[in-house]
């Protein structure tokens, strides 16, 4: 079972966090969503309060665990599923397995394709680095890539917060997630099957998933609403108000 946190009432709105963070990353958004939704945040295995039971966190297992956890929490109705980056990888697998459970999707700075050979190689290097030196040098690498250049220049508190979250992670969970992302299946065939209203948000300064790739994904989904913000990879943290405004406007217009 995965650790979740719930607040508010209404349609369940489930948020899956980015790697290597935890459900805490959504805490500041809680008041904005809890007014109109049952706001549910979830920890991937080994992150935050979720136990780690395997050496690899497969995205398909994550989808199954999410379904079990929701049913166990009494959430049997259709959900709105929002996944940021790694959360998006798991959201694709959840939709592929449980399409009848999904009322709407939000795909945030994520990609449908599997890892390239170069990305797999990089993940193997990161695993070796963590095994040898712990999370510190890895956290520095990650902080550089996760946040946009504007955030680096103007918001040192956000940079520091993300660094602290990464350093607080369980190294074994980080390694298991790296293995799971490296071996995740290609979800590009899922795109044409998505029949629910789908919000896609890209960061114009994102160097992990370029905005052009998100736009391409949007072009393959029937009911897609693509938007971009002048942020890096972690839009919801870098510009929370702009992100919430864009997402809530989409939900009011296309889902409620
Ligand atoms: C994330 O933000 O979840 C990661 O950048 C995803 C990845 O490493 O592919």
- Is the CB of 86 within 6 Å of ligand 1? yes
Sheet with 37-42: list strands edge to edge: 4-7, 37-42, 11-16, 79-84, 102-108, 198-203, 224-229
Query: What pLDDT does 64 receive?
Result: 98
The overall average pLDDT reported for the chain is: 97
Query: What pLDDT does 99 receive?
Result: 98
Judge if pTM exceeds 0.85: yes
Regions of the chain short of the pLDDT cut 50: none
- Is the CB of 147 within 6 Å of ligand 1? no
- Is the CB of 18 within 6 Å of ligand 1? yes
Q: How much is the CA Rg of the chain, to the nearest whole Å?
A: 17
- Is the CB of 40 within 6 Å of ligand 1? no
Query: What pLDDT does 124 receive?
Result: 98
Query: What pLDDT does 184 receive?
Result: 98
Query: What pLDDT does 249 receive?
Result: 97
pLDDT tens profile 234-246: 999 999 999 999 9
Query: What pLDDT does 117 receive?
Result: 98
Query: What pLDDT does 214 receive?
Result: 98
Token pair of 14, please? 């489930």
Q: Are 163 and 143 in contact (CB under 8 A)?
A: yes
Token pair of 238, please? 């870098």
CA of 110 to the centre of ligand 1 (A): 8
Burial class (CB in 10 A: 0-12, 13-18, 19+), 153: exposed
Query: What pLDDT does 121 receive?
Result: 98
């Amino acid at each position: 079972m995965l650790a979740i946190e719930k607040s508010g009432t209404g349609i369940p709105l489930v948020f899956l966090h980015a790697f290597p963070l935890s459900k805490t990353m959504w805490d500041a958004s809680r008041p904005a969503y809890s007014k109109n939704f049952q706001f549910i945040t979830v920890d991937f295995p080994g992150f935050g309060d979720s136990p780690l039971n395997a050496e690899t966190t497969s995205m398909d297992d994550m989808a199954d665990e999410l379904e079990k956890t929701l049913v166990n929490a009494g959430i049997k109705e259709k959900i709105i599923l929002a996944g940021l980056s790694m959360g998006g990888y798991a959201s694709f697998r959840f939709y592929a397995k449980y399409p009848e459970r999904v009322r709407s999707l939000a795909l945030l700075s994520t990609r449908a394709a599997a890892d390239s050979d170069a990305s797999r190689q990089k993940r193997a290097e990161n695993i070796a680095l963590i095994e040898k030196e712990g999370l510190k040098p890895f956290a520095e690498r990650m902080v550089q890539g996760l946040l946009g250049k504007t955030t680096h220049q103007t918001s040192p508190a956000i940079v520091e917060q993300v660094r602290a979250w990464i350093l607080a992670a369980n190294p074994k969970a980080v390694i298991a997630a790296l293995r799971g992302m490296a071996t995740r299946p290609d979800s590009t065939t899922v795109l044409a099957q998505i029949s629910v209203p789908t919000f896609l948000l890209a960061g114009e300064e994102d160097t992990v998933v370029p905005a052009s790739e998100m736009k391409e994904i949007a072009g393959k989904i029937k009911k897609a609403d693509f938007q971009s913000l002048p942020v890096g990879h972690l839009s919801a943290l870098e510009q929370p108000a702009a992100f919430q405004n864009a997402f809530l406007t989409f939900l009011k217009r296309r889902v409620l």
